[in-house]
Amino acid sequence: MFRTAQLLVRLAGKVAVITGGASGIGEATAKEFIANGAKVIIADIQDDLGHAVAAELGPDATYTHCDVADESQIAAAVDLAVSRHGHLDILFSNAGIGGATSQDDDMASLDMAAFDRVMAVNARSTLAGVKHAARAMSAGVVLCTASVASVLPVPEAAIYSVSKAAVVAVVRAAAAPMARRGLRVNAISPTTTVTPMVTRLPAAVLSKMFSGSNVVGIEPEYVARAAVYLASDEARYINGHNLVVDKGYSVYKAADAGVAMPAGTSN
């Protein structure tokens, strides 16, 4: 009985920074981390919402403004955790943007400035998070939110798909160097999740991007619980992994794809 109760509080004494922590997956993860015994720094650009979430979660939550496109602000969030709590154990690089849709209407007119912005927020910030975790943590875990689009690219969100594939590439490339420092780094790739970023998309865009039950989406708390597991000591031997939380979408959708090559082409 004692061991069962102990396992239910998986993050006792841990300190975490969660970027994009004021809403969606980040907010759900902050709640789950605190319920599992952690103290959390919520880092976001949504100041009013972030302060409200921190107040709701109580004394174990602190809000700080953080634009992840600016490396110095990621560094400041990490430093805040260490100065306030004495150490940092978990960095969850979760903040991200979707970019405009559709992104494949004409690849010849691709907006490279829009690409640079999505990459800066989604991919470059992930690498910056790894860098500052390595600087500040002597042991612990880096988690990164990727997407099912990193496994099975979504043509209507081509730029976003590239950025999330880059997140997984960062995780895999960083796994061995981070392990030498006593750190683990892993990604979570959720399918369509009921977050503000997704619910703002028109229904027609969602139905074009995804199919069947995937359009309905999953609740962010289920992604958050995957994050709790990967951040806990129960996952101590998991490193460089991309945990796909997608209801099997990437399996059956890939199997159904069977896209025929245009006439006159070969692979």
User: Which residues neighbour 152 within 8 Å (Cβ) at sequence distance 6 or greater?
Assistant: 249, 250, 253, 254
Helix (H) or strand (E) run with residue 167 in it: helix 158-179
Assess whether 147 carries a catalytic annotation.
Answer: yes
| Cα–Cα dist 125/74, whole Å | 8
Assess whether 160 carries a catalytic annotation.
Answer: yes
Q: How far is CA 98 from the centre of its chain?
A: 12
**Residue of 23, 93, 125, 147 with catalytic role:** 147
Closest by CA position to 163, among listed 119, 209, 208: 119
| Cα–Cα dist 136/128, whole Å | 12
Assess whether 39 carries a catalytic annotation.
Answer: no
Residue 69 burial (CB count, 10 A): 19
The encoded tokens of residue 108 equal 């010849």
Closest by CA position to 182, among listed 143, 142, 138: 138
| Cα–Cα dist 140/134, whole Å | 9
The pairing of beta strand 90-93 with beta strand 140-145: parallel
User: Which residues neighbour 126 within 8 Å (Cβ) at sequence distance 6 or greater?
Assistant: 93, 144, 166, 167, 170, 171
- Cβ(151)–Cβ(189) under 8 Å? yes
Helix (H) or strand (E) run with residue 83 in it: helix 71-85
| Cα–Cα dist 77/186, whole Å | 20
**Residue of 14, 31, 39, 164 with catalytic role:** 164
**Residue of 160, 161, 189, 247 with catalytic role:** 160
Task: Tell me the catalytic residues.
Answer: 147, 160, 164
